[in-house]
Structure 1
């Protein structure tokens, strides 16, 4: 499927995602079929101690389809990359888990989401977090840079998933962990490419 998507189609997908997630940056409530905000964190069984440690407005900006941290631990001193970080809630949680000797980096393509992530970071005392504008298809990091790569509901939106997964594996250190929570399609794939692209970011 990925080879069928032209640059024009990719531009349409990116524009649609930018439009939707500009709204999400302000308030995700009501824009998804699953719980968001603090209710979403609780429903997905995030560590309640970490939920309580988040300022209420930070927790309210959470938008994720699952809990990538349920797959395995984040250890003290580790370097974590969050692909498609959105408002940065998972990035901040990873930073709390890895502690002051570790680092957490979030990347996203939507400027408004990154702006919200920076505002959320400024509401905390965390000093080990950075955010960058980047696509998962081409990560701006050296090989073997991270102990853990996480992603929550983002890779399904990226047109070239193969490139994204290759990039994630490239930046992982030997023995590193890839922890993804995402949506999958159930049922028949829409045969019409235009229809698929039109519904890509719905």
Structure 2
């Protein structure tokens, strides 16, 4: 479907010339809570969230889109902003333009999925997008931002909490203190938080800590 006539942009590709955020020179290393022992070279790559979000919002077209009021006026639900989770939430009532972050997690098998060593080089990849953007725009590649990449064996060993710890710290900063975004020479403070975490069934089981199929033990 051609979205060029469905949105105000002549095409979704008009959100262009987005700047890059270089990952830190050294990736995060894991430590054990007892004794703070550094575990060799076990590491993963984390893209600085706040810096990347700031640069993304400083793009003029993204800035304007995020400040749009996409709520429906006919009582129907057409997006996240129309649901009670947003409309009845004290945080979003106090800060109507707060950023609504949607996270997504998926796994990528870099080797032959039928090979005997499958899973050894599997990667876990975390992304986010901003729900304040219209669906036709936030689903484009340019609006989907990378958070972190980690090998699946390392993720299984330490868990989602350890892997996402740098991101969670950044989200807490965004939630409480916000970030400054410069637009047309004016400083604007943006706040926000995560409103949804999306994943397929297998990944959702891992994130939720389930060791079984949630459909098989569902209580009606």
TM class, shorter-length? under 0.3
Which of the pair has more CA radius of gyration? 2
| Structure (1/2) with the larger helix percentage | 1
| Structure (1/2) with the larger strand percentage | 2
